[in-house]
Structure formats: structure tokens, C-alpha cells
Structure 1
């Protein structure tokens, strides 16, 4: 189980870092019109936060005393995805494809957090 969690953590870290790069090069509205309510400064702040969270997902591999960083990072990424879902819903859009994507990412984050806190904690 531990190897599976590490694979998921690396995949999520890669996904999050790519998302951060995307945020630096595109506005929220250009990414998804329903996210246009996010101010550009907040969008850039999310990019910086995503870089930190992506690094926190793999940090425990190198520094075991930072074991709690991975589930916290996964939880924060899940929260971000759920905020995106809420913004999308409140915009009145009837397109559910992006929401399904964000919910899948949030579910994977939840699994990583649960796995690292309950199933196979990093020792």
C-alpha cells in the first residue's frame, strides 16, 4: 500500500506543479470562464501555493520528520478542487465535465490523506 500511495503522491505532485505553471501563464477566465470570479492576484497566489503543496507531497520521502506534510498538502489541494467545483456550480454552468475532473482529483487527494494518516503512515 505504501508504494501505491507514493505513486499517487508523485502523480498528484506532478499534476499540481503543472497546474501551477498553467496558472502563471493563463488567467482564471482563460482557463475556465466559470473561474473568472477569481481575481488575478488570488490566481497567482494559488500558483505559488500549488508549488509549495506539490513539494510537500514528496518532501517526506527525503525528510521523514515532515511526514504530516503530505496529508496536509493533499487535503489543501482537495479543498482547492472543491472550491473550483463550487464556483463552477454557482456560475450557473450546465457543463459538468470540469466538475467531474475536479471531483476525481479531490477524491484522490482524500485517499492520499486518509492513506497517510490512517492506513500506512510514513514512519
Structure 2
């Protein structure tokens, strides 16, 4: 279980870091349903996402910070759920992004549950 959780944490950290870089290089207007997010918040989210991706892998190098990994996973899951809610509220009929965000949120929830309950560091 520990190996699976580490694989998911590393994949999630890479996913989140790539998403942060994408946010820095693209506007929130790239995804029409996310237009409600102010540009400053959009840019701040990329910095926060880079921090979360770091928090997911920090326990590999420094065990006392292990609590940061499941907290980061929960925060990323909340972000994905908020993106899904914005998409639904925008009235966009394309459900592809919602499915993607919900899958990422489910992986985050599994990592958080795994690190809090199943196999803590």
C-alpha cells in the first residue's frame, strides 16, 4: 500500500506542478467556464499549486513534515471540486472537464485517506 500511495503522490505532484506552470502561461479565459476566476487569483493559484506539489513529495526527504502530504491532497481535491462547480454553474454542456477534475479529486481523496488512515508515514 505504501508503494501505491507513493506512486500516486508523485503522479499527483507532477500533475499539480504541470497545472501550475500551465496556469502561469495561459489565461483563465482558456477554459470558458473558469472566466469567473479573477486573473490575480488565477496566478496565485499557480503559486499555491507549486507549494502543494512540493508538500506531496517532501515526506520522502524529511519525515517530520509528513502531515503536509495528505493536507495538500485534500486542498487539491477541494480545488478540483471548485473547478467542477464553476463548470456546472457556467452552464457549459461539455462534461469532459468535470469528469477529469472529479477523477483527480478522487485520487487526491484516496491519497489523503491512505496517509491519514491506511498507511501513515
- Unpaired segments ≥5 residues, structure 2: none
Which runs of structure 1 show a deviation greater than 4 angstroms over 4 or more consecutive aligned residues? none
CA root-mean-square deviation: 0.4
| Count of aligned positions | 121
Q: Deviation digits for residues 53-86 of structure 1, max 9, x if unmatched?
A: 0000000111100111000000000000000000
Q: Which residue of 2 aligns with 1:2?
A: 2
Q: How does 1:22-61 map to 2 (within 5 A)?
A: 22-30=22-30, 32-61=31-60
TM-score, normalisation: structure 1: 0.98
| DSSP 3-state at the match of 1:82 | helix
TM-score, normalisation: structure 2: 0.99
Q: Deviation digits for residues 7-58 of structure 1, max 9, x if unmatched?
A: 000000000000000000000111x100011011000000000000000000
- Unpaired segments ≥5 residues, structure 1: none
Q: Which residue of 2 aligns with 1:62?
A: 61
